[in-house]
Chains A and B, each alone.
Chain A
Amino acid sequence: MFLQTFGEWLYDTPVATGLRETTWVIPAVQSIHILAIAVVIGSALVSELRLAGVIATDEAPGTVVRRYLPWIWRALIVLLLSGTVLIVAEPARTLGNTVFWIKMGLVLGAFVLTLSFRRPLLVAADGVVSEPAKAIAWLLLVVWVVVIFCGRFIAYT
């Protein structure tokens, strides 16, 4: 299978070997990865709960989204970069792992949902949150929680 061959090739590259043999690299990159997840979770929690009408209802949804959306994007970039380093160091742990691909699918889904339902709010600063957007807000919080569970379970499957 292509992925397996690619994973084996990647595992043997000098970069991957170097990452594995320098003992502090993987825990350090994983720490950065968790810190970036915390940024996404904190930003998503406040944004989604505002859109769901639970907190900060005295502030316009556009104000809240405008404050935290750039943080979610920046944190996602850090997550993609640190995640890539972790894949390069240990390809077999991820590329051949179903949980890893479920996680990637969920992250992509969360990305698309965030993009499509937040952009309109950025344009209309004091716009009212539609009912579907409220449901999407709760759904996104659930998706991020499942992403965290998948992330931890990658190490065990």
Chain B
Amino acid sequence: MTLETTLQQVYDLPISATIRENVNAFPLLESLHVLAITLVFGTILIVDLRLLGVGAHRRSADRLIRELLPFTWIAFALAVVTGSLLFASNAPAYAANREFQLKLVAIAAAGVNMLIFHATAHRKIAGWDLDLPPPAAVRVSGFLSLLLWTVVIVLGRWIGFTLDVLF
């Protein structure tokens, strides 16, 4: 089974056809996707700026992260579900789109950056919890996260202008 046949099978799924054929389905999914992305970016921005040394509404970085991360994760899950449905509606075209491919790479890079942060600096958070600005390693994590998520949003918008199949 090649990638092409898999993509075509996804395209042929009844739900993919419904999204293509129902006039309101695609814009509704897009709206939910934008809502999810603004929630992901909006909450991550507050945390990333705190990691960079810009104060949030509370001093403790640990409490701020635990307060906002659930919102980020729920919104991210919504973004993945809506994004997957948008992808399914035109799987071969999205898979062939350069901006879409780069967007997935940027999301993966943001994930790796987060994993590194949680495996290193976050373990020692008790030592810098109230520091403004935090240690350099923490600031690097915050900066990379902001940069990568900004790239994700820009690439996502570009897909709408470069995708081969428009309907």
Contacts and interface: CB of A to CB of B under 8 A. Distances in A.
A27 B153 contact: no
B132 interface: no
A35 B30 CA distance: 16
Nearest to A64: B57
Q: What is the interface residue range for chain A against chain B?
A: 20 to 34
B46 A56 contact: no
Interface in B16-70: 23, 27-28, 30-31, 34-35, 37-43, 45-46, 55-58, 67-68
A151 interface: yes
Given A42-B39, A56-B58, A153 B161 contact: no
Interface string A10-39: 000000000000010011101100110111
Contact of A153 (B27, B37, B43, B154): B27
Interface of A: 23, 26-28, 30-31, 34-35, 37-43, 45-46, 50, 55-56, 58-59, 63-64, 67-68, 145, 148-149, 151-153, 155-156
B57 A27 contact: no
A67 B56 CA distance: 7
Interface residues of B, number: 30
Contacts of A27: 154, 157-158, 160-161
Interface of B: 23, 27-28, 30-31, 34-35, 37-43, 45-46, 55-58, 67-68, 71, 150, 153-154, 157-158, 160-161
B31 A31 contact: no
Contacts of A63: 57
Contacts of A64: 57
